[in-house]
Structure 1
Amino acid sequence: MPALLQDYLRHARVERGLAPRSLVIYTQALRRLHAFSLEGKGLDLLRLRPNQARGLLMRMHGEQDLGPRSMALQLSVWRGLYRYLGGLRLVDLNPFDGLRAPKAAKPLPKALAVDDAVQLAEHADPDAEPAGEALDRCIVELLYGCGLRVSELEGLDVAASGTARGWVDVQAGEVHVLGKGSKRRSVPVGRAALQALQAWLALRGQSARPDEPALLVGARGGRLGASQIRARLKARALAAGSPSHVHPHMLRHSFASHLLQSSGDLRAVQELLGHANITTTQVYTQLDYQHLAKIYDAAHPRAKLTSKKK
Structure 2
Amino acid sequence: MTDASMHDAVERFLRYLGVERQLSPITLRNYRRQLDAIIQIASDTGISGWQQCDVAVVRNFAVRSRRKGLGPASLALRLSALRSFFDWMVWQGELNANPAKAVSAPKAPRHLPKNIDVDDVNRLLDIDLNDPLAVRDRAMLEIMYGAGLRLSELVNLDIKNLDLTTGEVWVIGKGSKERRLPIGRSAVTWIEHWLDLRGLFGGDDDALFLSKHGKRISARNVQKRFAEWGIKQGLNSHVHPHKLRHSFATHMLESSGDLRGVQELLGHANLATTQIYTHLDFQHLASVYDAAHPRAKRGK
Considering the TM-score relative to the shorter chain, is it more than 0.5?
yes
* 2:34 alignment partner, one of 21, 25, 30: 25
* 1:176 alignment partner, one of 149, 170, 176: 170
Partner of residue 179, structure 2: 185
Partner of residue 94, structure 2: 90
Residues 1:277 and 2:286 aligned together: no
Partner of residue 163, structure 1: none
Distance apart, 1:115 and its partner CA: 1.0
Tell me if structure 1 keeps the 8 A contact 2:226–2:241. Answer: yes
Distance apart, 1:62 and its partner CA: 7.8
- CA 1:118 to 1:196, structure 2 compared with 1: closer, same or farther past 3 Å? same
The DSSP-based 3-state class of the residue aligned with 2:200 is coil
**5 Å matches for 1:157-236?**
157-159=158-160, 167-209=161-203, 212-236=205-229
Residues 1:267 and 2:271 aligned together: no
Report the TM-score, using the length of structure 1 for normalisation.
Answer: 0.83
Distance apart, 1:227 and its partner CA: 1.2
Distance apart, 1:6 and its partner CA: 2.0
Tell me if structure 2 keeps the 8 A contact 1:154–1:225. Answer: yes
Tell me if structure 1 keeps the 8 A contact 2:41–2:64. Answer: no
**5 Å matches for 1:150-161?**
150-159=151-160
The DSSP-based 3-state class of the residue aligned with 2:96 is coil
C-alpha distance in 2, partners of 1:273/1:203? 29
Gaps of 5+ in 2: 19-24
Tell me if structure 2 keeps the 8 A contact 1:152–1:179. Answer: yes
The DSSP-based 3-state class of the residue aligned with 1:177 is strand
Q: How far does the alpha carbon of each residue in 1:119-167 deviate from its partner, in whole angstroms, 9 at most, with x for none? A: 1112326xx42x11100101111111110001111111112xxxxxxx1
Distance apart, 1:171 and its partner CA: 0.8
Distance apart, 1:84 and its partner CA: 4.4
Tell me how many residue pairs correspond in the alignment.
291
Report the TM-score, using the length of structure 2 for normalisation.
Answer: 0.86
C-alpha distance in 1, partners of 2:210/2:154? 12
**5 Å matches for 1:30-49?**
30-36=39-45, 38=46, 45-49=50-54
The DSSP-based 3-state class of the residue aligned with 1:245 is coil
Residues 1:104 and 2:103 aligned together: no
C-alpha distance in 2, partners of 1:20/1:276? 38
| Equivalent residue letter for 1:259 | M
Distance apart, 1:82 and its partner CA: 2.4
C-alpha distance in 1, partners of 2:6/2:187? 62
Partner of residue 144, structure 2: 143
Residues 1:299 and 2:292 aligned together: yes
| Equivalent residue letter for 1:228 | N
C-alpha distance in 2, partners of 1:21/1:277? 34
C-alpha distance in 1, partners of 2:35/2:49? 20
The DSSP-based 3-state class of the residue aligned with 2:180 is strand
**5 Å matches for 1:105-124?**
105-124=109-128
Partner of residue 7, structure 1: 8
Tell me if structure 2 keeps the 8 A contact 1:30–1:77. Answer: no
RMSD: 2.6
C-alpha distance in 1, partners of 2:284/2:99? 46
